Structure 1
Amino acid sequence: MCGIVAITSYHDVASTIFESLTILQHRGQDAAGMATCDDDQLFLVRNNGLVSDVFGSSDVSKLKGASGIGHVRYPTAGSSDYEEAQPFYVNSPFGIALGHNGNLTNADTLRAELFKEDRRHINTGSDSEILLNVFAHELHNAADFSVEAKAIFEAVSQVHRRCKGAYAVVAIIPGYGILGFRDPDGIRPLVYGCRETEDGKEYMITSESTVLDIHGFELLGDVAPGECVFVDADKQLHKQQCATKTQLSPCMFEYVYFARPDSMIDDVSVYKARLRMGEKLAERIIERWPDHDIDVVIPIPDTSRTCAIPLAYGLGVKFREGLVKNRYVGRTFIMPGQEQRIQSVRRKLNALELEFKGKNVLLVDDSIVRGTTSQQIIQMARQAGAKKVYMASAAPPVRYPNIYGIDMPSVNELIAHDRTEEEVCELLGADGLIYQTLEDLEAACKEGNPNIDRFDSSCFSNEYVTEVDADYFEQVEALRNDRAKRSNG
């Protein structure tokens, strides 16, 4: 999972991109990068670390230009080396810098094609570099001596033909403009907006609408599945559907966990979707445990808080903030390695004894993936004096790998894989465990936009929205498990 942003303005944009990346920091804490364009010259800074670590004041001042792109990354494939920080750059044709959120499922095939047929060398293990070179090759074929919207759209059409999987992309071509496009299934989010200034219209393309809001851009809409949005050097907006077959299939985990609650994704309020998750989970608990003895509902901060409030209301019990979060520790789920995740849970959360002592507590989390955090927090609750500790998940059991850009590939790392709910409950050390059903979760999100026909719920259902080669799952498990990350990192 990554965060991306592109902006074209009438003034230097480096500081705006910097602020935008801090807003998107929750989407990736491994690396950050920025490319800006001043006339025909491109400036690029990228490195491992948080946004505030990568960009000092001297770096921002060197990133000149009135248009640019930015990227925050956490690794799923490849390594965490500096060379895989984005944006990536190629000088032919015209010079292109590109940032990508998602994961290509046919990267190996494309790598071979690029070398044998397109005569392009890939220097890293990143599928984002592959995607950039596919786009660059197709733009070379489509364009003459300059870049026009028609050539951009033809190149993106060929990208859709060749690339499989999930991809939301921003790119900048020096002297010609910025663009963004989204895979034909719309798995990863991408929105665009405009703001009026004294000089004229400025445009932004980014992962989440919150970035637009904070910078005063009006949300024009989501980039549709298969669509490309191109803003040329004259600030003229062009957009076109570039795929022959599309079906909106947004990633369910965006609503459950990844996206900020103040974002809109595919016309669905993430905040309201999470409220509805809590309401439906309360109904399920009452149906399953009509005589429950729950005294208090306590969210595991921060993502589950929105869900836990209507859950407590629906059960008719108190809602309390019993876990205090250290906000200077990153999101444990996206840390590259199990050892880091385990060490970070205790540094991240502390239990308020007065909210646990002598009570039957229902802990609420957005999801249970590896179970690392849940096990330790349940133990913390008992040490704080809780009589009973129940656990509720706003999402169904995560039993299968996500291959579209979320770091849950190795089934052996998923606590619910090949286990019943009762077995997971025992492993977690809880007195009771309840999951949201997939039907209720999808209904909670779809209520915001009835035009969504399906979601990417593959990590819950084992049903994948794109074609996947039979041996692909073995490949990603070998690349992405924690042992591989330790050796690569």
Structure 2
Amino acid sequence: MSEHIGHECGIAAIRLLKPLDYYIHKYGTALYAVNKLYLLMEKQRNRGQDGAGAAALKLGMHPGDAYFARVRSTEADPSTRVYEQMRAPFDEFEREDSGGERTVEELKRHAPFAAEILMGHLRYATRGKGGPEYCHPFLRENNWQTRNLAVAGNFNLTNNDELFRLLTDLGQHPPSHTDTEMMLEKIGHFLDEANERLFRRYRRQNLSGPRISGRIAAELDMGDVLRAALRDFDGGYVITGLVGHGELFVARDPQGIRPVFYYRDEEALVVASERPAIQTAFSARLDEVAELEPGHAMLVDRSGTVRIERVAEPAERAPCSFERIYFSRGTDADIYHERKKLGARLCDPILGAIGGDFEHTVFSYIPNTAETAFLGLSDEMRRRYLQRLRDRLSNGEAHTEDRLDAVFSTPPRFEKIMTKDAKLRTFIASGKERKGMVALAYDTTYGVVRRGEDTLVVLDDSIVRGTTLRESILRILDRIGPKKILVVSSAPQIRYPDCYGIDMSKLRDFVAFEAAVALLHERGMAERLDEVYAACRESEARPRTEAVNHVKRIYEPFTAEDISGRIAQMLRPEDMNAELQIIYQTIEDLHQACPSHRGDWYFTGHYPTPGGNRVANRAFMHYVEKRDERAY
């Protein structure tokens, strides 16, 4: 992507299925789980660099011994800082000279992360502030093990205000409105209720306190807790949690908006947001890593027994298509092929735009995440070229050597045109000077495009704001002298805000929206803006479940080509010499390339939850009212 937008968060969890001394004897280190957790986090650092955190839960600890631990960091390279904090007590333990062999029990008392269950998190902050205290995991502490709760997740909820009211109606006093606080307290509330029911039952049977605690730990049903807690959530989520008596849980939203995968062998159960992270960390085959079904939870009790249960009402599946286009690492086997298909599906509109003229066209991409789609485009273009050769050679004409040379002389040209010098410092400049420095952060390959003759086709994986294109990339490409620049997006036009984890929440940031508004004004239809605003205002008084996305009406009068043409006018610098055209992927071709991930609300406005419709309407009201804030 030629411009940055924020990622969803990433999660990782490990449940060791054998005693700690097993790993010490087999692998020669007590850091087996810590090292694996760090590797899982590092392989998912694309999902968030704002902060990182980890929590550990130890089994079999005696009263008076700590069994929960947590570290968090927002320093540079936060996952490494977290790893260093987890590891340091192990190194200190090894250095101590005790005069004899140290026991695993001593290690567990000394090292907070000498534990059987570990949970990690990588944060991209779509809400909240930036200090380590705002990083996951979050703790809800209690002297009763079965009420001690730690949660971390990849989620955004659209109905925080509603959840806040539900908690205050229960008599709680939440310290904030953040979705993390709502998630923690809702699960915590029903965890408390489940504890209280069991406590009262065994108190009536005159059991002693320690025996009551043991019975609660044995009978507490986290599936029931999650079914009650998640009932009111509207949004996309994967939530991981630890309960102090030794239970790990992972729950996924009913639409499957956010991804989560798991793997189990004889030694460990592993959970992560992305499949390749698990494959790399545990040398697992593709078919050994499974995806947790939407609306289900994985529950691992203190004995290590795993069960998967449905914890939310079934809903139409809507896994996030942006995961496939851009966010998830392209090393996933399915995502790699889907991104190649996204590139291949663009072949027809590109050929139409260049008139089938391979001789005067250079194909390239804007670094770096569009590379896989570009491979798919180049494969398909070569296939089309060879088909053209076969057609010309099979037309029955006699072929002289000169004619054969002419037939074979114009294959498609695929080149690396643009690079980015990440080390060029632009922060020392300001204002217009900084804008000029940003432009110089990119560079081009000279001598490849024939000045005044060639069309330059540049593939990007998405165009959100278009700011980087307008202020730097198009000017840079224009310097090498193409006759025409054709910018192609492997994603469709981004028209609507996201509210489920991606930091795309303000309509004014979308060049497609600005283009539609400009067209309404130019075609004498500006009154539609007032009508949509009034409808959005009226919808605020209705229940969330009745919300309708009124922002769709902004786009109804126009074709996708109308909006693409207006975007090209808006992004074209005044001093640009080359002709400019912009082509976007169609929704139909997106679905052909990514058939199992049809969550496309940012392109179509078809939100999978009613809260999404409300967010879209609020985002439009904020746009009209010139309020620079998120709508959720």
Interval of TM-score (by shorter of Structure 1 and Structure 2): 0.7 to 0.9
Which deviations, in whole Å up to 9, do the C-alpha atoms of 1:277-320 show, x marking residues without a partner? 11111123224543456622212222211111221233342222
Q: Which has the higher strand share?
A: 1
Give the structure 2 partner of residue 172 of structure 1. Answer: 242
Counterparts of 1:375-414 in structure 2, within 5 Å, are 375=470, 376-414=472-510
For the residues of structure 1 that align with 2:328 and 2:627, how far apart are their CA atoms? 24
Would you say the 8 A contact 1:149–1:230 is kept in 2?
Answer: no
For the residues of structure 2 that align with 1:99 and 1:194, how far apart are their CA atoms? 21
Amino acid at match of 1:410: K
For the residues of structure 2 that align with 1:33 and 1:91, how far apart are their CA atoms? 17
* Structure 2 gap ranges (5+): 1-7, 24-30, 62-66, 90-111, 199-212, 383-411, 425-430, 516-562, 573-578
For the residues of structure 2 that align with 1:318 and 1:249, how far apart are their CA atoms? 38
CA 1:484–1:48 in 2, change beyond 3 Å: closer, same or farther? farther
Amino acid at match of 1:396: P
Give the structure 1 partner of residue 365 of structure 2. Answer: 299
Counterparts of 1:61-76 in structure 2, within 5 Å, are 61-62=88-89, 63-64=112-113, 65-76=115-126
Give the structure 2 partner of residue 2 of structure 1. Answer: 9
For the residues of structure 1 that align with 2:306 and 2:264, how far apart are their CA atoms? 10
1:86 CA displacement: 1.1
For the residues of structure 2 that align with 1:60 and 1:234, how far apart are their CA atoms? 26
Identity percentage over the alignment? 26
Task: Tell me, yes or no, if structure 1 residue 60 matches structure 2 residue 110.
Answer: no
For the residues of structure 2 that align with 1:355 and 1:183, how far apart are their CA atoms? 49
Counterparts of 1:149-164 in structure 2, within 5 Å, are 151-164=221-234
CA 1:343–1:255 in 2, change beyond 3 Å: closer, same or farther? farther
Structure with larger Rg: 2
Task: Tell me, yes or no, if structure 1 residue 47 matches structure 2 residue 143.
Answer: no
Q: Which moved more, 1:284-293 or 1:213-222?
A: 284-293
1:48 CA displacement: 1.8
CA 1:279–1:209 in 2, change beyond 3 Å: closer, same or farther? same
Give the structure 1 partner of residue 554 of structure 2. Answer: none
2:329 maps to which of 260, 275, 293? 260
1:468 CA displacement: 1.9
Task: Tell me, yes or no, if structure 1 residue 223 matches structure 2 residue 271.
Answer: no
Give the structure 1 partner of residue 457 of structure 2. Answer: 362
Give the structure 2 partner of residue 334 of structure 1. Answer: none
1:345 CA displacement: 6.1
Which deviations, in whole Å up to 9, do the C-alpha atoms of 1:48-101 show, x marking residues without a partner? 243346326244334512321111111222333433211111114532211111
* Structure 1 gap ranges (5+): 330-337, 447-451
2:57 maps to which of 31, 37, 40? 37
Q: Which moved more, 1:470-479 or 1:173-182?
A: 470-479
Task: Tell me, yes or no, if structure 1 residue 437 matches structure 2 residue 582.
Answer: no
Q: Which moved more, 1:185-194 or 1:54-63?
A: 54-63
Give the structure 2 partner of residue 107 of structure 1. Answer: 160
Counterparts of 1:21-32 in structure 2, within 5 Å, are 21-32=41-52
For the residues of structure 1 that align with 2:440 and 2:81, how far apart are their CA atoms? 24
Secondary structure at the residue paired with 1:168?
Answer: strand
1:35 CA displacement: 0.9
Give the structure 2 partner of residue 462 of structure 1. Answer: 605
Which deviations, in whole Å up to 9, do the C-alpha atoms of 1:144-191 show, x marking residues without a partner? 343458611111112331111110111122341322110011000011
Would you say the 8 A contact 1:369–1:414 is kept in 2?
Answer: yes
Amino acid at match of 1:115: T
Amino acid at match of 1:263: D
1:46 CA displacement: 1.2
Amino acid at match of 1:45: V
Would you say the 8 A contact 2:496–2:616 is kept in 1?
Answer: no
Equivalenced residue count is 460
For the residues of structure 1 that align with 2:364 and 2:442, how far apart are their CA atoms? 13
Counterparts of 1:67-466 in structure 2, within 5 Å, are 67-92=117-142, 94-117=147-170, 119=172, 121-143=173-195, 144=198, 145=213, 146-147=216-217, 151-196=221-266, 201-216=267-282, 217=284, 219-263=288-332, 269-292=334-357, 295-316=361-382, 317-325=412-420, 349-356=442-449, 358=451, 359-375=454-470, 376-419=472-515, 420-429=563-572, 431-446=580-595, 452=596, 455-466=598-609
Would you say the 8 A contact 2:338–2:593 is kept in 1?
Answer: yes
For the aligned residue pairs, the C-alpha RMSD in angstroms reads 3.0
Would you say the 8 A contact 1:226–1:242 is kept in 2?
Answer: yes
For the residues of structure 2 that align with 1:194 and 1:56, how far apart are their CA atoms? 23
Would you say the 8 A contact 1:399–1:418 is kept in 2?
Answer: no
Secondary structure at the residue paired with 1:397?
Answer: coil
For the residues of structure 2 that align with 1:345 and 1:110, how far apart are their CA atoms? 43
Q: Which moved more, 1:407-416 or 1:299-308?
A: 299-308
Q: With the length of structure 1 as denominator, give the TM-score of the two structures.
A: 0.85
For the residues of structure 2 that align with 1:484 and 1:53, how far apart are their CA atoms? 32
Amino acid at match of 2:324: Y
For the residues of structure 2 that align with 1:442 and 1:398, how far apart are their CA atoms? 15
Would you say the 8 A contact 1:390–1:431 is kept in 2?
Answer: yes
CA 1:307–1:147 in 2, change beyond 3 Å: closer, same or farther? farther
For the residues of structure 2 that align with 1:205 and 1:56, how far apart are their CA atoms? 18
Secondary structure at the residue paired with 2:511?
Answer: coil
For the residues of structure 2 that align with 1:71 and 1:473, how far apart are their CA atoms? 29
Q: Which has the higher helix share?
A: 2
Q: With the length of structure 2 as denominator, give the TM-score of the two structures.
A: 0.67
Secondary structure at the residue paired with 1:161?
Answer: helix
CA 1:37–1:401 in 2, change beyond 3 Å: closer, same or farther? same
Amino acid at match of 1:42: F
1:42 CA displacement: 1.4
